Chain A
Amino acid sequence: MKITLGAVVKGGTSLNYKTGSWRDQRPVLNIELCKACGVCESVCPDGAVHLVNEAYRIGYDYCKGCGLCAYECPADAIQMVAEEK
């Protein structure tokens, strides 16, 4: 790929870098327990949690497995499990 003038790059291109590979703990969301409060989405530093079809889902492409969502979930609906590699 050709380099750009002054190293100026298009915004939003980090989506091409999947940080999910950094994960060794995987958050697993139990939809049965979820109260749809949105806390997990709000506290994720990696923008990995989204409301999809009216349910909160964790996107494993970018989730680094920090565990913040699990710790903050008021319903204990997210469990951290060891990632199988």
Chain B
Amino acid sequence: MQETEVLEGSEAVAFAVKACRPQVISAYPISPQTHIVEALARMIADGEMDSEYVRVESEFSAASVISGASAAGSRSYTASSSQGLLLMTEVLYASAGMRLPFVITGVNRAISVPISIQVDHQDTISLRDSGVIQFYVESSQEAYDTHIAAFKIAEDPGILLPVSVCMDGWILTHSYERVSFLEQEEVDRFLPPFKPKNFLDVNDPKSWGSYAEEDVLMEFKYSIHRAMQYGKERIKEIFSELATITGRDHGGLIEAYRTRDAEVILVAMGSMVGTIKEAIDKLRSQGQRVGLIKIRCYRPFPFEDILDNIKVAKVVAVMDANFSMGSEGALGMDLKAKLCGRRGAPLVLDCVAGLGGREVNEKRVLEIVERAREVEESGLPLDEPYWAGLRPEILPEGAENDRQGKIG
């Protein structure tokens, strides 16, 4: 019997991390990540957990400390949000290049300016090219389970990359949910101690962080990509191995929800997925053939699994809680890049949804489905992304405003 408790999402994550026995933890506070690292600090202060906790002066150092610890052969962990994640960026690229398998919780929050503690995915999406594997979760339970899988995935000899578990701030970290926990022995059996082949060892001195030229540099980059591609199958195996222990199957790289005969398929990730599922159930009860693909693993990008589930769809509406200024949202770009030129590919509707904490409620989901139906009817994609819930009326007057006003 698994123990079950109603508790804050942050605490659930802290329990998952504790169960994975990281030897080194280092973190710097930022909302809404703080409760996770505070909970871990408490566990250590109370002697319930045996980890070195390095209380650093910045997120840059937090990521650096766990990189050093990982290179020295210790399982390591950190968590951050928003500005803190951006501050870690340079470190994460380097550590992915060194193939250091630590785990980092990316608690999603918008990026300054204006400074805000609202939720969106701009922070972790900004790290998508770094070589860090990224998972997005929908619930505290999924956050708990995914963290336990994350260490095993990171440390897989064929992968060896940092893994980030991304979860929406406040909505997941600060709300109370019923969460089931694994027994420590179950986790220990699933996740054996970290024993890397390479580590900083005085008995076998090796050098890390070489300078490379154009004769080999491209191959090093390609190796990271190859590890990610290999990772796709391995991640699915590890997820299902865990599912047999927990009895909870959250899906593989994606979760396909009522997609089999769907004409319109929404694609989204993070906590908004719950709302979307409810809206889909409602539309289904009205006879509309609508489905959802929830992206669980964003990097590597699970294109094959998406493709398998959109075969009969006419329109795929991608909901991006991030935006590449001057272009479009990241998920939309990824998907279209892969669909381009494929016979019978569905049209893609890019939607900006949930940016800057703008609520994604049932009404907004229904609007998006309506837009998708319009696209289906016209047979043409929109020139510009659809900004769900944008309030054009509060935009200031100005030359650039004329056009933006029309988009909303």
The chain A residues found within 8 Å of chain B, CB to CB, are 3, 5-12
Docked complex Cα distance between A12 and B205 (Å): 9
Q: Taking chain B's interface residues, is the majority helix, strand, or loop, or is none over half, making it mixed?
A: loop
From B157, which residue of chain A is reached at the shortest CB distance? A5
Asked if B219 contacts A6 (CB within 8 A), the reply is no
Contact status A7-B210, CB under 8 Å: yes
Which of chain B's residues has its CB closest to A1's CB?
A: B216
Question: Which residue of chain A lies nearest to B199 when distances are taken between CB atoms in the complex?
Answer: A8
B97 surroundings in chain A (CB, below 8 A) = 6-7
Pairwise interchain contact A7-B205, C-beta atoms closer than 8 A? no
Q: Given the complex, which residues of B lie within 8 Å of A3, measured CB to CB?
A: 216, 219-220, 223
- Size of B's binding interface in residues, CB under 8 A: 18
* B222 CB, min distance to chain A CBs, angstroms: 10
**Are B206 and A8 neighbours in the complex by a CB distance under 8 Å?**
yes
Are A11 and B207 in touch, CB under 8 angstroms?
A: yes
User: Complex Cα distance A7/B211, Å?
Assistant: 9
Give the residues in chain B near A6, CB-CB below 8 Å: 97-100, 160, 198, 208
CA distance A70 to B220 in the complex (A): 43
Contacts of A8 on B, CB cut-off 8 Å?
98, 198, 206-208
A5, A11, A12: the one contacting B99 at CB < 8 Å is A5
Instruction: Show 12 A/B contacts (Cβ-Cβ < 8 Å), sorted by A.
Output: A3-B219, A3-B223, A5-B160, A5-B198, A7-B97, A7-B98, A7-B220, A8-B98, A8-B198, A8-B206, A9-B206, A11-B206
Closest CB in chain A relative to B50 CB, distance in Å: 28
A10 B216 Cβ-Cβ under 8 A? no
**Does any Cβ of A come within 8 Å of B114's Cβ?**
no
Instruction: Please measure, in the bound complex, the distance between the C-alpha atom of A11 and the C-alpha atom of B100, giving whole angstroms.
Output: 19
Q: Which 4 A-B pairs have the closest CB atoms?
A: A6-B99, A11-B205, A6-B98, A7-B210
In the complex, A4 Cα to B337 Cα: how many Å?
A: 31
- Cα distance A6–B207 when bound, in Å? 10
CB-defined contacts of B115 to chain A, threshold 8 Å: none
Which residues on A sit within 8 Å (CB–CB) of B212? 7
Chain B residue at minimal CB-CB distance from A7: B210
Collect the chain A residues with CB atoms within 8 Å of residue B160's CB.
Answer: 5-6
Interface of A, helix, strand, loop or mixed by DSSP: mixed
Query: Which residues of chain B are near A11, meaning CB under 8 Å?
Result: 205-207
The reply to whether the CB of B287 lies closer than 8 angstroms to some CB of chain A is no
CB within 8 Å of A: which of B196-236? 197-198, 205-210, 212, 216, 219-220, 223
Question: Which A residues touch B223, using CB under 8 A?
Answer: 3, 5
Chain A residue contacts of B197, Cβ below 8 A: 5
Q: Which of A8, A9, A11 has the most CB of B within 10 A?
A: A8
Distance of B333 from chain A, by nearest CB (Å): 29
In the complex the two chains form, what is the Cα distance from A8 to B219 in whole Å? 14
Q: Which residue on B lies nearest to A10, using beta carbons?
A: B206
Task: List residues of chain A with CB within 8 A of the CB of B198.
Answer: 5-6, 8
CA distance A9 to B212 in the complex (A): 12
CB distance from A7 to the nearest CB of B (A): 5
Q: How far is the CA of A24 from the CA of B361 in the complex (A)?
A: 76
Q: Which residue of B lies closest to A14 (CB)?
A: B207
In angstroms, how far is the closest chain B Cβ from the Cβ of A38? 26
The answer, among B98, B100, B207, for a CB contact under 8 Å with A9, is B207
B157 to chain A, nearest CB (A): 9
Measured between C-beta atoms, what is the minimum distance from B354 to chain A in Å? 36
Q: Residues 222-256 of chain B: 1 if any A CB is under 8 Å from the residue's CB, otherwise 0?
A: 01000000000000000000000000000000000
CA distance A10 to B219 in the complex (A): 19
Q: Of residues 89 to 121 in B, which have CB atoms within 8 Å of A's CB atoms? A: 97-100
Q: Mark B132-173, 1 if CB is under 8 A from A, else 0.
A: 000000000000000000000000000010000000000000
Q: Please report the C-alpha to C-alpha distance between residue A3 and residue B213 in the assembled complex, in whole angstroms.
A: 12
Docked pose: A73 CA to B208 CA in angstroms = 37
State A85–B112 Cα separation when bound (angstroms). 62
Name which residue of chain A comes closest to B95, CB basis: A6
Q: Enumerate chain A residues within 8 angstroms of B208, measured Cβ to Cβ.
A: 6-8
- The interface residues of chain A lying within 8 Å CB-to-CB of B99 are 5-6
Q: Given known contacts A3-B223, A7-B210, what 15 new A-B pairs fall within 8 Å (CB)? A: A3-B219, A3-B220, A5-B160, A5-B197, A6-B97, A6-B99, A6-B208, A7-B208, A7-B212, A8-B206, A8-B208, A9-B206, A9-B207, A10-B206, A11-B207
